Amino acid sequence: MIDILPDLKNITVDPWNHAHFQKNELKVEVLRLDKIHPDISGNKWFKLKYFIESARKANKQKLISFGGAYSNHLLALAAASGIYGFSSLGYVRGEKPRQLSNMLRAAAEFGMELRFLSRPDYDRKKKSAAEHPESENQPDSLLIPEGGAGLDGIKGAEEILSALSLTHYSHICCAVGTGTTLTGIINNARDDQKIIGVSVLKGTRGFEPLNILLVKKPERLKNVQMIHTDHFGGYAKKNKLLIDFMNQIFDESGIPTDFVYTSKLFYSISRMASENAFSNGSRVLILHSGGLRGNHSLVPGQLQF
């Protein structure tokens, strides 16, 4: 078993003291997975772990995956490939822009080959890779689903809760993209722990997280609450309220958040607390899943950190 988590010791659990938490005596703490690595952000480290292990076992040389221009997953894959000696290829959604995003530039610096596909081509490729991985998979390469989703991704995400002793929390909260991280959390939570998933995508009400069929104990789903109303207009959408809130979180706790995922998660927990959604004395753990590199695409000076 390879140890691809050399920096788990960097993880801390930091308090967030926020006005809305006082009236119900909530104790809210943040699991700083963002501290694992600057580019292999938080949850991506866990989600990639078993894909990398499978690739090593099968003697693959190359890791291939999919993502948008601001994909934390592609950047994490590029960095991990560099560290673990694989070459990497990223299929990027959309035509090649005149100027690469900070994220894609960094991925390219780690040695990732980028291939830009029009949206229909991207969707076709992604679909065929999901349905017929063997035809897309060259003998020397491993195809990883978009976002590190799928069984290997979930297996890694399950280790987020076992890596540290987190059993004394009444609530565990995470941001939801593909739902891979959420599913791993559900699989490894205690039977009586409540789990809150905050969707950062618009229009997800109804489908619930993509990976939910892979939950091992379906009866746990009664402990899960999905929030679909705090996406601020959709994926990577933001407004002044959100940016101001990110600065406020930093003032209150010293914790930097990203504008795509974690700030919306923190916002949702604050809003729920203000509406007395947590019973008195709850102990709430927020997963900081990283993504801070994405803040480079904001206008400089908007954030205090």
Ligand X SMILES: *Cc1c(COP(=O)(O)O)cnc(C)c1O
Residues that bind ligand X (CB under 6 A): 41-44, 72-73, 147, 175-182, 258, 261-262, 289-291
Nearer to ligand X (CB atom), residue 64 or residue 76: 76
DSSP 73-107: HHHHHHHHHHHHT-EEEEEEESSPPSS--HHHHHH
- The one-letter amino acid code at 191 reads D
Sheet holding 171-176, edge to edge: 13-15, 27-32, 283-288, 171-176, 194-199, 224-227
Cβ at position 98, least distance to ligand X in Å:
25
- Give least dist CB 237 to ligand X, A: 15
Q: Is 230 helix (H, G, I), strand (E, B) or coil?
A: coil
CB 83 within 8 A of CB 49: no
Residues 6+ apart with CB under 8 A from 216: 187
Q: State the minimum distance, in angstroms, from the CB of residue 72 to ligand X.
A: 3
Rounded-to-integer distance, Cα 152 and Cα 185, Å: 14
Cβ of 243: how many Cβ atoms within 10 Å? 17
Minimum CB separation from ligand X for residue 1, in Å? 22
State how far the Cα of 281 lies from the Cα of 279, in Å rounded to an integer. Answer: 6
Residue type, 98: R
Supply the minimum distance, in Å, between the C-beta of residue 290 and ligand X: 5
| Cα–Cα distance measured from residue 47 to residue 157, given in angstroms and rounded to the nearest whole number | 6
Cβ distance to ligand X smaller for residue 41 or 88? 41
Q: Which CB sits closer to ligand X, 123 or 140?
A: 123
Q: Closest approach of Cβ 147 to ligand X, in Å? A: 4
Neighbouring C-beta atoms of residue 71, cutoff 10 Å: 25
**Closest CB 276 distance from ligand X, rounded Å:** 27
CB of 26 to ligand X, least distance (A): 22
Residue nearer to ligand X on the CB measure, 14 or 24: 14
Which CB sits closer to ligand X, 120 or 226?
226
CB closer to ligand X, 146 vs 168: 146
| Distances, alpha carbon 211 to alpha carbons 64, 153, 178, 180, 201, in Å | 21, 10, 7, 6, 15
Minimum CB distance to ligand X smaller for 24 or for 237 = 237
* Dist CA 85 CA 98 (whole Å): 30
* Position with the least CB separation from ligand X: 291
What secondary structure letter does DSSP report for 200?
A: -
Contact 27, 280 (CB under 8 A): no
Instruction: Select 168 or 202, whichever has its Cβ closest to ligand X.
Output: 202
d(Cα 290, Cα 305) in Å, to the nearest integer?
14
